[in-house]
Amino acid sequence: MTEHDPTAYGKGVSADYDAFYAQLPETDEAIACLAELAGGGDVLELGIGTGRLALGLVERGPHVAGIEGSDAMVDQLRTKPLGQTIPVVVGDFAETSVDGTFSLVVLALNTIFALADRDAQLACFANAAAHLEPGGAFVVEAFVLRPDQVAGGWSVNPRMVEDEHVELEVSKYDAARGRIDRTLVHLLPHGNKIVKVVDVYASPGELDLMAHAAGLRLRERWAGWTRTPYVTESTKHVSVYEKPA
Ligand SMILES: C[S@@+](CC[C@H](N)C(=O)[O-])C[C@H]1O[C@@H](n2cnc3c(N)ncnc32)[C@H](O)[C@@H]1O
């Protein structure tokens, strides 16, 4: 595996994460969908971060545990009353174990692409499968490359346009290496913030193969958390992989 620093994202973003992303579109819908998929069982979130999804899930009843690479993100989670009750193991979710098995494992917001290479992504699917009960599901939310990104060169995409926060994503896809360099430019009233991210992109079909290698099979694929159909033009997917009963 290529070296990857799972603490890096949190070091740059933890203090601002909630201000930037707590109100992401579809957050409530994601929580409702995940609660339904959990069916009253326990949930494990890989890359639990500051608890954007986990806290809402706990409020709905499921027991939630997390694996998180960044102490700084966990510190933010711990500032919230319910966040102190969620067991979190700090480590790389491609290889870190927690006690117990779960009816649902979730990896949201493109974070499968944060892993350093295909070996790490394969290991992550295997790790998710190892934490699932038979009949349980591993849910992966990820973007799909836009045609302008596939075409190559730099492309600019407004990710968020609010009164006091505009986020522009400046990205370049290197098809030969399967990498996307993304620079996230946050325009804020008190100044700008720049966050650099390198993604190892995998198409939905490639993710399906990783799932297959881990003994999981695709049960559902939607274009979002409201379960709209996934079609050619979809810009993201929510994929539900099942561990055979
Ligand atoms: C984009 S944030 C998403 C946080 C949360 N799941 C949410 O939906 O708001 C990705 C999170 O995954 C964590 N992360 C990235 N790579 C990781 C790894 N290899 N192992 C564990 N955590 C990782 C980051 O520190 C960050 O907290």
- State the CATH number of the domain containing residue 15: 3.40.50.150
Enter the tokens of residue 101.
């098995």
The b-or-e profile of 222-240 (16+ CB within 10 A means b, else e) is bbbbeeeebeeebebbbbb
Per-residue pLDDT tens over the stretch 99-120: 999 999 999 999 999 999 999 9
Residue 188: CA atoms inside 13 Å, Cβ hemisphere, count?
11
**180 and 207 part of one domain:** no
- Calpha distance 128→125 (Å, rounded): 5
Among protein residues, the one with the nearest Cα to ligand 1's atom 7 is 52
Residue 29 lies in a domain: yes
Residue 120 near ligand 1, beta carbon < 6 Å: no
Residue 69 lies in a domain: yes
| pLDDT score at 50 | 98
Residue 3 lies in a domain: no
User: Ligand 1 centroid to 217 CA: how many Å?
Assistant: 24
**160 and 81 part of one domain:** no
Per-residue pLDDT at 2 exceeds 80: no
**118 and 208 part of one domain:** yes
Largest CA distance in the chain: 53
User: Ligand 1 centroid to 69 CA: how many Å?
Assistant: 7
Residue 73 near ligand 1, beta carbon < 6 Å: yes
- Calpha distance 20→39 (Å, rounded): 30
The b-or-e profile of 151-188 (16+ CB within 10 A means b, else e) is eeeebeeeebeeeebebbbebebeeeebbbebebebee
**Which has the closest alpha carbon to 185: 167, 172, 173, 199?**
167
| pLDDT score at 3 | 61
Adjacency order of strands within the sheet including 132-143: 88-90, 64-68, 43-46, 102-107, 132-143, 236-242, 217-222
Helix H or strand E encompassing 188: strand 179-188
Mean pLDDT of 2-22: 85
| pLDDT score at 6 | 84
Domain range for 90 is 8-144+202-242
**33 and 139 part of one domain:** yes
Residue 186 near ligand 1, beta carbon < 6 Å: no
pTM, two decimals, is: 0.96
Per the listing, tokens 């360099």 go with: 181
Per-residue pLDDT tens over the stretch 36-60: 999 999 999 999 999 999 999 999 9
User: Ligand 1 centroid to 108 CA: how many Å?
Assistant: 8
**Which has the closest alpha carbon to 64: 36, 91, 83, 90?**
83
Residue 12 lies in a domain: yes
Residue 182 near ligand 1, beta carbon < 6 Å: no
Burial class (CB in 10 A: 0-12, 13-18, 19+), 140: buried
Residue 2 lies in a domain: no
Residue type for position 10: G
**154 and 217 part of one domain:** no
User: Ligand 1 centroid to 46 CA: how many Å?
Assistant: 7
Q: Which of 1, 9, 43, 169 to mutate to test the pocket of ligand 1 (most atoms within 8 A of CB)?
A: 9
How many domains does the chain divide into? 2
**138 and 22 part of one domain:** yes
Mean pLDDT of 62-76: 97
Mean pLDDT of 145-164: 91
Q: C-alpha distances in angstroms, 236 versus 17, 62, 133, 147, 225?
A: 21, 26, 27, 13, 10
**72 and 191 part of one domain:** no
**92 and 172 part of one domain:** no
**28 and 108 part of one domain:** yes
User: Ligand 1 centroid to 189 CA: how many Å?
Assistant: 27
Among protein residues, the one with the nearest Cα to ligand 1's atom 16 is 6
User: Ligand 1 centroid to 226 CA: how many Å?
Assistant: 22
Residue 49 near ligand 1, beta carbon < 6 Å: yes
Count of C-beta atoms within a 10 Å radius of residue 37: 19
Q: C-alpha distances in angstroms, 132 versus 3, 97, 100, 126, 194?
A: 27, 12, 9, 10, 37
Task: Please report which confidence band the pLDDT of residue 8 belongs to, taking 50, 70 and 90 as the band edges.
Answer: confident
Residue 69 near ligand 1, beta carbon < 6 Å: yes
Percent share of the chain, pLDDT over 70: 98
Residue 142, strand partner residues: 237
Hey, what's the torsion of the CAs at 200, 173, 203, 143, to 10 degrees? 90
User: Ligand 1 centroid to 78 CA: how many Å?
Assistant: 15
Residue 52 near ligand 1, beta carbon < 6 Å: yes
Residue 87 lies in a domain: yes
User: Ligand 1 centroid to 28 CA: how many Å?
Assistant: 19
Residue 185 lies in a domain: yes
